[in-house]
């Protein structure tokens, strides 16, 4: 599965829309963008993404430990209800990075920067100014 970004509301939006319709009544609450859509990825790209995702899913404490060597200021942001990158991992990342600033956006998920675009832009600009 590829990350389709803000152009869809959910990785499984078409399936969710079909299964939600009986519960949601005549109007569907999940929409898929109909115009200006990304082209589907090719098999080579899909396989490369699958390889990367599979490698990331293998627990390896050394990856986390190596992050402590990053001394540059780091902005770590997330929504408080992110299911793709659990918010507790955001806090863990902030603890491991020695010079980090953690920002958690309330009532937001993985797409927090689309829910809070002005606030996130202000946070990034403030971070870059210091």
Domain that holds residue 113: 61-130
Percent above pLDDT 90 for the chain: 51
Residue 25 lies in a domain: no
Which range has the worst mean pLDDT, 32-36, 93-97, 108-112? 32-36
pLDDT at 25 over 90: no
The answer to the question of residue 33 being in a domain is no
Q: Is residue 42 part of a domain?
A: no
Band (121; pLDDT cuts 50, 70, 90): very high
In a domain, 111, yes or no: yes
Instruction: Report DSSP letters for the chain, one per residue.
Output: ----GGGBSSTTHHHHHHHHHHHHTTS-S--B--SSPPPPPPHHHHHHHHHHHHHHTS--HHHHHHHTT--S-EEEEEETT-TTTTHHHHHHHHHHSTTEEEEEETT--TTHHHHSHHHHHHHHHHHHH-
């Amino acid at each position: 599965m590829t990350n389709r970004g803000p152009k869809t509301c959910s990785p499984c939006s078409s399936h969710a829309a079909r299964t939600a319709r009986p519960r949601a009544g005549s109007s569907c609450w999940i929409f898929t963008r109909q115009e200006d859509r990304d082209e589907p990825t090719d098999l080579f790209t899909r396989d490369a993404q699958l390889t990367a995702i599979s490698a990331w899913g293998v627990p390896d404490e050394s990856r986390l430990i190596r992050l402590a060597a990053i001394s540059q200021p780091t902005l770590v942001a997330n929504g408080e209800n992110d299911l793709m990158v659990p918010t507790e991992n955001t806090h863990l990342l902030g603890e491991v990075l020695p010079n980090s600033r953690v920002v958690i956006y309330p009532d937001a998920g993985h797409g927090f920067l689309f829910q809070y675009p002005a606030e996130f832009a202000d946070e990034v600009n403030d971070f870059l100014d210091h």
